[in-house]
Amino acid sequence: MNTKDDFDKAPTLELREQGLNQVRWANVGLIGGGLLSLTGMGFLLWAPSVSTESGQARLRASVSTEALGVSVEGRF
């Protein structure tokens, strides 16, 4: 809005280009955000169904002279 006000007060080619660039980037952001939102909704709608089987989760720690490790195994 500031660029538009400045352009209205004293129209210059530089202010016009600045305003057009701001509009372009706003459009890119809106379209990109919309596409990301649609993709996320698509993943939610077409995700595989959750299995009703409850699996066993297991936490295992291992220690050696070289490294310390932790792993989680099972069905979630």
Structure tokens at 17: 């280009």
pLDDT at 27 over 90: yes
pTM value?
Answer: 0.51
74 Rama sector, left if φ>0, alpha if ψ -120 to 50, beta otherwise: left
| Alpha-carbon span 37 to 2, nearest angstrom | 30
For the chain, what are the domain ranges? 1-41
Q: What is the pLDDT of residue 4?
A: 74
pLDDT-derived band at 24 (thresholds 50, 70, 90) equals very high
Residues of the chain with pLDDT > 90, as a percent, come to: 21
Quick: pLDDT tens for 29-51: 999 999 999 998 888 888 776 65
Structure tokens at 61: 């720690």
| Alpha-carbon span 23 to 3, nearest angstrom | 11
CB 26 within 8 A of CB 18: no
